[in-house]
Amino acid sequence: MKTKKKINSNNLLIMITIIMFIVMYAIGCFVYAGKGFAHVQTFLNLFITNAGLICVACGMTCVILAHGMGVQGWPCIPTIILILVIGVIFGLVQGFLIGYLNIQPFITTMAGMFFARGMTAVICTDQLSITQEQNALFYSWANAKIYLPAFLGYTNNKGKVMTPYVRPTVIIALLVVVVIFIVLKYTKFGRSIYAVGGNETSATMMGLNVKRTKLFAYILSSFLCSIGGICYCLNTMSGSVQQAKGFEMDAIASSVIGGTLLTGGVGNVIGSLFGVMING
């Protein structure tokens, strides 16, 4: 008698991981065949180099189970649109995996982050600097100043009056805070997020579509991350794979400092704004 094994979210995640590895390794063998990538020793070196990490990962798995981009040479506007589209796609994929397949959010989002960094490295591993000659429009946005009233200024040691100013990125960030505050407080979608975060069972009994709410929450989050990435790039005027490492932890810390509970259902973006200021 044949038994039919049901594919649950855990098995699906393992299958996806294995398939991704096979596909990536096959591509590597094809692209870098001339450099010895297809040699057996190259494959074995993966285990040799990462032996320690494998052991640590096994230990960490036991604990957890116990419940314990920029494209060089592109014009400014198309690149920004592409970044925003990629953000929506990332949010859609991760929201589907988490909301509909019930795959652990921490694992899904971290895997997505590593995947994004990996794809960035495929595009370019060098530190890229954005200059006025390369992209005059982006350069002008980055260096634009919005001056505040003169009475807020001061006189420096050389006797020159310094008028305070902000960059366009500050205006973008504040607009995001205002819009998201309104969405969370005054829209059905925002109230659904609070309800689902507070108690999924109760939210379901109230007739809310929990899976769809999670999906759109991750799409929104990913879209805002794309906007944040653009603002970050405007501030640094450069890009590399190594940039913004630990940025996700700073974001989490700022939210928690601002009063958002990791268990969900409590918090708002105003608190997060001040959490960022305190962290900064």
The answer on pLDDT for 47 being more than 50 is: yes
Residue 32: pLDDT above 60? yes
Rounded to an integer, what is the distance from CA 146 to the centroid of its chain? 28
pLDDT band at 2 (very low <50, low <70, confident <90, very high): very low
Would you say residue 247 has pLDDT above 80? no
Mean pLDDT of the chain: 76
Q: Which residue has the higher pLDDT, 46 or 264?
A: 264
Query: Binning pLDDT at 50, 70 and 90, where does residue 63 land?
Result: very low
Residue 7 structure tokens: 């594919």
pLDDT tens column, 79-106: 889 888 988 888 888 888 888 888 888 8
Structure tokens at 227: 């906007």
Give whole-number Cα distances, 137 to 77, 88, 116, 143, 230, in Å: 9, 24, 26, 10, 14
The per-residue pLDDT for 68 is: 40
Coil, helix or strand at residue 155? strand
pLDDT of residue 46: 66
Higher pLDDT, 228 or 69: 228
159 has pLDDT over 80: no
Q: What is the pLDDT of residue 65?
A: 34
More confident residue, 258 or 184: 184
* SS3 label, residue 242: coil
Of 9-13, 23-27, 54-58, 263-267, the range with the lowest mean pLDDT is 54-58
